[in-house]
Amino acid sequence: MSVDLRFTKGQGTGNDFVLFLDPDGHHDLSPSQVAALCDRRFGIGADGVLRAVRSENIAAGGAALAEDPAAEWFMDYRNADGSIAEMCGNGIRVFVRYLIENGVVELVPGRTLPIGTRAGVRDVIRSGTGFQVDLGRWRLEPDETLVSAREVPVARPGLGIDVGNPHVVVALADDAELEAADLTVIPHLDPAPVEGANVEFVVPREPLVRDGVGRIRMRVHERGSGETLSCGTGAAAAALAVRHWAGAGAPNEWRVDVPGGTVGVRMFPAEDGEHVALSGPAELVFEGDLSIA
Ligand SMILES: N[C@@H](CCC[C@H](N)C(=O)O)C(=O)O
- Considering the domain architecture, whether residues 217 and 155 belong to the same structural domain is answered as yes
Low-confidence ranges of the chain (pLDDT < 50): none
- Considering the domain architecture, whether residues 256 and 161 belong to the same structural domain is answered as yes
Residue 9 pairs with which residues in a beta bridge?
18, 286
- Considering the domain architecture, whether residues 246 and 220 belong to the same structural domain is answered as yes
- Exposed/middle/buried for residue 233 (C-beta within 10 Å: 0-12, 13-18, 19+): buried
CB-based contacts of 50, cutoff 8 Å, min separation 6: 10, 17, 18, 19, 20, 75, 76, 77, 88, 91, 94, 95, 98
Q: What is the pLDDT of residue 136?
A: 98
- Considering the domain architecture, whether residues 26 and 51 belong to the same structural domain is answered as yes
For 150, the domain range is 139-273
Rounded Cα gap, residues 48 and 15, in angstroms: 9
- Considering the domain architecture, whether residues 168 and 98 belong to the same structural domain is answered as no
Report yes or no: 120 and 138 within 8 Å, Cβ to Cβ.
no
- Considering the domain architecture, whether residues 247 and 147 belong to the same structural domain is answered as yes
The single residue of 21, 38, 88, 170 carrying the catalytic annotation is 88
pTM of the predicted model as reported, rounded to 2 decimal places: 0.97
- Considering the domain architecture, whether residues 95 and 210 belong to the same structural domain is answered as no
Query: What are the φ/ψ torsions at residue 221 (nearest 5 degrees)?
Result: -110, 115
- Considering the domain architecture, whether residues 223 and 265 belong to the same structural domain is answered as yes
Rounded Cα gap, residues 63 and 49, in angstroms: 21
Q: Say what the ipTM of the complex is.
A: 0.99
- Considering the domain architecture, whether residues 19 and 121 belong to the same structural domain is answered as yes
Residue 252 annotated as binding? no
Residue 91 annotated as binding? no
User: Structurally, how many domains does the chain consist of?
Assistant: 2
- Considering the domain architecture, whether residues 143 and 224 belong to the same structural domain is answered as yes
Please identify, by atom number, the ligand 1 atom nearest to the C-alpha of residue 220: 1
Q: Using the mean position of ligand 1's atoms as its centre, give its distance from the Cα of residue 72 in Å.
A: 22
Rounded Cα gap, residues 229 and 280, in angstroms: 14
Q: Look up the CATH number of the domain holding residue 151.
A: 3.10.310.10
